Structure 1
Amino acid sequence: MSSTDVDPTTTREHGLTSAEVGAIGAQAASAKALSYSPYSKFRVGCALLCEDGKFVLGANIENASYPVGVCAERAALARACLEGQRKFRAIAVSTDISPPASPCGMCRQFIREFCDLSIPIFMWDNDGNYVVMTLDQLLPMSFGPEHLKKPDSLGQK
């Protein structure tokens, strides 16, 4: 699918308007310009559509010590948390390759911390084409916060 040709089934299935799908794709694409990727030259932009309609952006930030870099999805979610956003309607990632790239395994697990398994994740290529999958499809049989015991208020147990 392309941003100019939004599938009506996709919008109904995920509770989004075609304008919202187009907007989140455009936001993710614009976030690529924020990427700091001097080593890989692989730019990734991410946009989160928050429950209140606001967009929060993130981009990948590399480091000479490769494992120290931060992916666009984790950057966007961390920024959203700092801004007090905790509820999201959709996620979009945008890269310069075709077909579109999906979030890495670490990002999928990070998304799982903050999002329902039914959240749609739109993956956009440089030509404006996208694939959409839910988090549950990208991370089957996932492990999430509900699987851990919460410590009591006194820090005991």
Structure 2
Amino acid sequence: MSNHAPSDTLAEPAVFDSLISAARTVRENAYAPYSNFKVGAALRGKSGAVYLGVNVENVAYPEGTCAEAGALAAMVAAGETEFVAAVVIADCPTPVTPCGGCRQKLVEFGKPDAQVLMTTLEGQQMQMTVGDLLPGKFEKSHMDRSK
């Protein structure tokens, strides 16, 4: 297992065991008939509940949905708006990081120290915080004109 560790606040690997299992299982439900690149995501909300997502492709590229976006949508639909840990899993040689759009979505619902573990089916891992995934992020404070 290899960890990219730009932050000193990384959670212990045991924290992610159930999320890895859930993401691995839900990944099989991904709808990826064009790329055959299935991705699964699992988020642990602040409440402890787990929310799942898969990538859903569409023949009219780029109208698909990423696994992370699906998991975030499930979390919000359930009434929760903060996650503390996330796992993204794909069948690739090295861990796949969230795309730029999903990084911004993760920033919206995770504090800078929320943990994101990217893993392959073979078990290679890379762990980062939300803050490390998107340096120079656009956030709510940018919208506050009262300052």
What is the TM-score with the length of structure 1 in the denominator? 0.83
- Higher helix content, 1 or 2: 1
2:134 to 132, 139, 156: 139
> Could you tell me which residue of structure 1 aligns to residue 116 of structure 2?
121
Q: 1:79, 1:66 → 2: CA distance? A: 23
Q: 2:60, 2:144 → 1: CA distance? A: 35
1:104 to 80, 96, 99: 99
Deviation by residue 1:52-84 (Cα, 9 ceiling, x = unmatched): 221100000000001110000001101110001
Larger Rg: 1
> Could you tell me which residue of structure 2 aligns to residue 28 of structure 1?
23
> Could you tell me which residue of structure 2 aligns to residue 57 of structure 1?
52
1:13 to 9, 12, 30: 9
Greater RCO (CA < 8 Å, at least 6 residues apart)? 2
Deviation by residue 1:119-148 (Cα, 9 ceiling, x = unmatched): 111001011221101112111011112211
Q: What secondary structure, in the 3-state scheme, does the structure 2 residue paired with 1:62 have?
A: coil
- Cα drift, residue 31 of structure 1: 1.7
Q: What secondary structure, in the 3-state scheme, does the structure 2 residue paired with 1:136 have?
A: helix
Aligned length: 143
Indicate the percent of aligned positions where both proteins have the same amino acid. Answer: 35
Q: 1:83, 1:117 → 2: CA distance? A: 22
- Cα drift, residue 15 of structure 1: 4.8
* Dislocated runs of 4+, deviation >4 Å: none
Query: Residue 87 of structure 2 contacts residue 119 of structure 2 at CA under 8 Å; is this kept in 1?
Result: yes
> Could you tell me which residue of structure 2 aligns to residue 39 of structure 1?
34
- Higher strand content, 1 or 2: 2
Which ranges of structure 2 fall in alignment gaps of 5 or more residues?
none
Q: What secondary structure, in the 3-state scheme, does the structure 1 residue paired with 2:28 have?
A: helix
RMSD: 2.2
Q: 2:48, 2:76 → 1: CA distance? A: 15
